[in-house]
Amino acid sequence: MRKKLVCIIGVLCMLSVFTIHNVTLAARMSDEDLAKKREGWYPTGLPLVNFSSDTGLGYGIRLYMYNNGSKSDPDFAYAPYFTQMYIQYFATTAGWQYHEFNIDQFKLFGSDFRVKTSVVYEEKLNANFFGQGADTTKYPLTFGGKEYDTYKDYQDEVLKANNYANYKYNNYTITAPKFSIDIYRNFDFLRFLLGYQVRNVEIDPWDGREFEMGIFGGDSYRQTAPTLLSQVRPTGYDGGWTSFARFGVAIDMRDFEPDPKNGFYIDYAFELSRGFLGSEYDYVRSTAGIRGYISPFRNFVLAGRIGYTDSSGEVPFYEKGTFAFMMNRYNGLGGYRTLRGYMEDRFVANAMTLGNIEARYQFGEASPWGQLFAFKIIAFCDAGNAYDNAGDPFSEPRWGDYKYAYGGGLVIAWNQNTIIHFYYGMSEEESAISINFMHSLE
């Protein structure tokens, strides 16, 4: 209870500080950071060695190409870069593949338009399904009428019992290639979005399928009992085309988008899925977020985020658990982007709330081979809840049902733009590790 109270008070206090402190801030890099910013084209890239409690040990490669432009350009101090391109091959030992080609272009053809495009092939052999609705946060893990406080107890007594007959009870396989394009138009600190995503989804439950235990194979078993997904058969059980248009507006007062030290960011995004857009499902989603950053003294940053999302209509279950912020869409609640310390998609409902606070301290820099590396330690606390109706978080907030995670880690900023994180998160249910890109709050 004490940890929960600390998290709630921390989020409220930090947001009030951000509101007061950031009124006069401009979305410009500090002089110190600006002096370190590279000019022109340059590559970065690294082998991907990744670990997540959900997806196992990951391996692959991501190659970046940046163009920062010239310091004589009047936008040099305001845009994190003018062009970012990357190509990625990525796979994990638990059967997750995520291959992508991505372009992010500021000032397209010298205009005030920014365009982000992405082509992705994704396959998750063991995506999570723990049910849907407010009950996912009201009650702990339950099977056969018995409740389990920790995931380890649940795994030992349910999933591994009876010769692993229920081992894939909360899993299914999803294959989902997609293409997206987002067009942004800036008016000083005001940003507008028009976007579109097309995605073709195949769902394959584990019922009756064989699987091997161990990272590199091993004994074979069969999921002989019905999985939760096949019992519930939620909307989207048969997969299909899931396409939607996106509309958004934001106020961006951050000093540096990939790794802010001061400023705030407020955004709202609306998604519309209809047949005329190429979708087999009709639904809408609204997502709002507030982020704030303050640096009370050199090399130390306090960061906070509050998020809310609501979806209604014929929402596929694999889309329902999404915080569709204007710049990035994250699965939640659970996983390294939302509620660290819980499994991805652990809590899913029509409406969800999210709160995060982080303390970031830069303790060193290094410049080998002409590259700039900044090293930061972080501590964080996350909170979130799930609801059945859009107004429930306000009329019936159920504070006692909020789920909390906390932990810390290391962040490495490579040439300022490429952010690599190492997180260790804990919750009352389990712990989780993540090695990946970007701050979770951005």
- Reported pTM: 0.85
User: What DSSP string describes 269-319?
Assistant: EEEEE-GGGT-S--EEEEEEEEEEEEEEETTEEEEEEEEEEEEEES--HHH
Q: Which two tokens stand for residue 267?
A: 């955004």
Residue 332 carries which side chain, given as an amino acid letter? Answer: G
Percentage of residues in the chain having pLDDT higher than 70? 91
Query: What would the mean pLDDT of 27-47 be, rounded to a whole number?
Result: 81
Residue 244 reports pLDDT greater than 80: yes
Q: 409: closest CA among 437, 441, 435, 442?
A: 435
Residue 102 reports pLDDT greater than 80: yes
Residue 45 reports pLDDT greater than 80: no
Residues 6+ apart with CB under 8 A from 327: 250, 267, 442
pLDDT per residue as tens digits for the range 107-126 = 887 778 999 999 999 999 99
Q: Are residues 50 and 59 in contact, defined by beta-carbon separation less than 8 angstroms?
A: yes
* Residue 162: exposure state from Cβ atoms within 10 A (0-12, 13-18, ≥19): exposed
pLDDT at residue 303, as a whole number: 98
Query: What would the mean pLDDT of 262-289 be, rounded to a whole number?
Result: 97
The domain made up of 2-437 is a member of CATH 3.40.190.10: no
Residue 384 reports pLDDT greater than 80: yes
Q: Are residues 181 and 116 in contact, defined by beta-carbon separation less than 8 angstroms?
A: yes
Residue 136 reports pLDDT greater than 90: yes
Q: Are residues 361 and 395 in contact, defined by beta-carbon separation less than 8 angstroms?
A: no
SS3 386: strand
> What is the chain's mean pLDDT, rounded?
89
Distances, alpha carbon 149 to alpha carbons 140, 166, 339, 424, in Å: 6, 18, 17, 20
Percentage of residues in the chain having pLDDT higher than 90? 66
The sign of the dihedral angle between the CA atoms of 388, 389, 395, 397 is positive
Residue 23 reports pLDDT greater than 70: no
Q: Where are the domains of the chain?
A: 2-437
SS3 8: helix
Q: Are residues 341 and 407 in contact, defined by beta-carbon separation less than 8 angstroms?
A: yes
Residue 277 carries which side chain, given as an amino acid letter? Answer: L
Query: d(Cα 14, Cα 342) in Å, to the nearest integer?
Result: 24
Residue 217 reports pLDDT greater than 70: no
